[in-house]
Amino acid sequence: MRIATWNVNSITARLPRLLAWLESSGTDVLCLQEAKVAEAQFPFEQLRELGYEAAVHATGRWNGVAVLSKVGLEDVVKGLPGDPGYDGAPEPRAISATCGPVRVWSVYVPNGREVGHPHYAYKLQWFEALKAAVAGDAGGSRPFAVLGDYNVAPTDDDVFDVAAFEGLTHVTPAERAALTALRETGLTDVVPRPLKYDHPYTYWDYRQLAFPKNRGMRIDLVYGNEAFGDAVKDAYVDREERKGKGASDHAPVVVDLEV
């Protein structure tokens, strides 16, 4: 079983590449972030033609998450229970579903913007709500994983130059402590390092030739419980999908399971 996570940075802009990638990669379940489209405009029919069901939580031009599956789609939960909301309203940043033998969450953690900004406080509160929401499944016997764009680099080795991020979000002690607290529910990072290269970054800015210079970050993560981790047989970042015209600024992260 092949499971992946991918921040597509607009499913409308990325649809041809997404469809081609799904067809060529043999992915059974895809957790997708930043759909940037209302649910009514989501490309259900095009995905159905490739054999995928889709559960979507999206409201418009920002955010939006989905789970695409060829192996079943049941017990869908849209939104994060206990979501603290931002500026008075919850945002479409989390969706969960059971896909065959595995239960997954697709999450798009708030960016945080700047240290001290209200969005940064919201990010930390959102992590607390996520931890509470997943704790039961994390400690269970069924394979379970939280996949997505966490907007946090777990260690200094997960950014191209930690000095370049001094005073910025994504690397602060509070954000990394939130990741640690999430893992303490019974989850581990199931994508090993190093992979087939020294720096398995998953995100590169569009600006300043960041991708050709490999000035990236590893912020797209797969955190699984013990049953999920035991089933992992391989994992990789599909850097090829970050290349060329019309690419997302994130690459897919792919995990192969024997379940």
- How many separate domains does the chain show? 1
Q: Comparing C-alpha atoms, which of 115, 129, 38 is closest to residue 85? A: 129
The structure's pTM equals 0.96
Phi, psi of 39 (to 5 degrees): -55, -35
Going residue by residue through the chain, which has 259 residues, state the pLDDT in tens, using 9 for 90 and above: 999 999 999 999 999 999 999 999 999 999 999 999 999 999 999 999 999 999 999 998 889 999 999 999 999 999 999 999 999 999 999 999 999 999 999 999 999 999 999 999 999 999 999 999 999 999 999 999 999 999 999 999 999 999 999 999 999 999 999 999 999 999 999 987 655 556 689 999 999 999 999 999 999 999 999 999 999 999 999 999 999 999 999 999 999 999 9
Summarised one tens digit per residue, pLDDT across range 119-136 is 999 999 999 999 999 999
Calpha distance 189→107 (Å, rounded): 15
- DSSP class of 235: E
Range of the domain at 160: 2-257
Asked whether 255 and 4 are in contact (CB, 8 A), the reply is yes
CATH number at residue 155: 3.60.10.10
User: Torsion angle, CA of 186/204/109/6, rounded to 10 degrees?
Assistant: -70
Instruction: Give the tens place of pLDDT for each residue, 160-210.
Output: 999 999 999 999 999 999 999 999 999 999 987 655 556 689 999 999 999
